Structure 1
Amino acid sequence: MKNLFYAALVLLLIAGCQSQGPERYSTTGPEIDVVKSLVADYEQGNWESWLTKYADTAKVYHNNWDEGITANELKEAFQESLAPFSTYSFKDEPIFYEKVIDNNGKTWVNFWGVWQATPTGSDKSMDVPVHLSVNVEDGKIVEEYGFWDGSIIQNAMAELTAMQNAPEAEQAIMANQAKVAEAWSNYDKELFASAASPNVVRNANGIRIASNLEEYAGLMDVFHSAFPDFNVVVDSYVIRDGKSYLTWTVTGTNTGEFMGNAPTGKAIKTHGMSIWTFDADGKAIQEDAYFDNMELYNQLGYTVSPPAGE
């Protein structure tokens, strides 16, 4: 009986030391190297080298599950769709690769990155998050699924086309309102000054907040001190008779003092509308902004107390 016990123990030890099969998850490996090389060829426009990463029978599904195309068809589609852009690449951060082996034994490389591109004739870039799942076998891609929000690209191109086709006066307004939004997001007071009149006015919910560039810059100081990651996105706009009626979304994290109050560490996301008036040269001369202050304060955790009774 003792010998049987030791024999069983030896078998367990041997089984424990044997390989448990291939590693099911990793962030390195030859399959990941294939996808990294694919991305590099894409960024450099090295299409012949890019094409060699795919098996002859490879099928590619982009923004769908059912209608696959060949790698050569994808190459032609990429070359056509990238033609309107002066630059394009994936940002260095964030970017992530992982390799997984599924229950059927297939090896997949998952890729997450942010595609950044600038249309020809524009100085404004766009960011598009992209996800790819790529099945790699014997050093070749045999199946690929990719997903991203194409509306970001479509909207940016439509905006550029509208600007190029607009009358000269409207083009100046569109260019300067884009500078204003960028200046707010990047805390660039000089850029704002280049798009505005020295006596620019800002009214917020009907109350005069600023009457010149210096006072307007002070307002930017207040918000960027309180929300260092303060960001403005213009959601939509209509230009009529020298005025732009636009809606916007603001995001940020309260890590600095705001209106005399200690930072809360809370994130905000608030929406509003501004009516911008421009002069004959397209310079901003007045902003009338409308937004819900209570929404902002609620997100920061502030509360409103009823007045004390007599």
Structure 2
Amino acid sequence: MKKLLLLGLAIILFTNCNQQEKRYTQQSPEIEIVKKAIENYNNKKYDITLYADTSKTLFNSSKALMSPSETIAYHKTNDAIYSSRGFTNEDPEYEMVVTDDGETWVNCWLNWKGTLAANNKEFDIPIHLTYRFIDGKIVREVGFWDASAIALELQAIEAEKTASEN
């Protein structure tokens, strides 16, 4: 009887250890939501239904939080300076992780290409985006990229414009 009880406990312990929640994956519903958000951005279809009402976005900042509607305004303002822009399909990487605290995050590494409307100069920039999810909705979006080449080009365009007016 004792051996039967120990065998039963060993089976329960072994079964519970093997039913561990996935902490890392490259296929999940959350990744599909991020891919939809990227597709929407590329199509200039700004759909905030993927985001929780309380979602906050940070782009190249640790303090300038934007709501979903402010993020759309940010994108629309930036869209005005490009004749074309969007994420490419060149080796995108997506991963979902569940942190030790139980938070669900999707990370992605993408290439972005854009052409300035003012002078047709093209830019190709690697971008890292990460999204936190709660109940299937994005509650936080954080993006980092080096926009210095674009900023310098816009400054040069503005300087040239000012010089020609004088």
**TM-score, length basis structure 1:** 0.49
Aligned positions of 1:151-162 closer than 5 A: 151-162=148-159
- 1:10 matched residue in structure 2: 8
163 and 118 in structure 1: CA distance in 2 versus 1, 3 angstrom threshold: farther
Aligned positions of 1:1-310 closer than 5 A: 3-18=1-16, 20-47=19-46, 49=47, 51-162=48-159
43 and 94 in structure 1: CA distance in 2 versus 1, 3 angstrom threshold: same
Contact kept, 8 Å, 1:54 with 1:141, in 2: the verdict is yes
1:16 partner letter: F
Deviation (angstroms), 1:6:
3.6
Q: Distance in 2 between matches of 1:117 and 1:135?
A: 26
For structure 2, which runs of at least 5 residues remain unmatched after alignment?
none
Cα distance per residue 1:214-271 (max 9 Å; x no partner)? xxxxxxxxxxxxxxxxxxxxxxxxxxxxxxxxxxxxxxxxxxxxxxxxxxxxxxxxxx
Cα distance per residue 1:54-99 (max 9 Å; x no partner)? 1001111222223312111111011001211000011211311100
Contact kept, 8 Å, 2:132 with 2:140, in 1: the verdict is yes
Cα distance per residue 1:267-298 (max 9 Å; x no partner)? xxxxxxxxxxxxxxxxxxxxxxxxxxxxxxxx
Deviation (angstroms), 1:164:
5.9
Give aligned-pair identity as a percent. 33
Cα distance per residue 1:113-138 (max 9 Å; x no partner)? 11110011433310111111100122
The structure with the largest alpha-carbon Rg is 1
Deviation (angstroms), 1:156:
2.6
Root-mean-square deviation over aligned CA pairs: 1.9
1:138 partner letter: D
Q: Distance in 2 between matches of 1:29 and 1:11?
A: 33
Deviation (angstroms), 1:160:
4.0
Deviation (angstroms), 1:163:
5.5
**TM-score, length basis structure 2:** 0.88
Question: Which is bigger in relative contact order (C-alpha 8 A, separation at least 6)?
Answer: 2
Contact kept, 8 Å, 1:126 with 1:156, in 2: the verdict is no
Deviation (angstroms), 1:108:
0.2
| Secondary structure of 1:86's aligned partner | strand
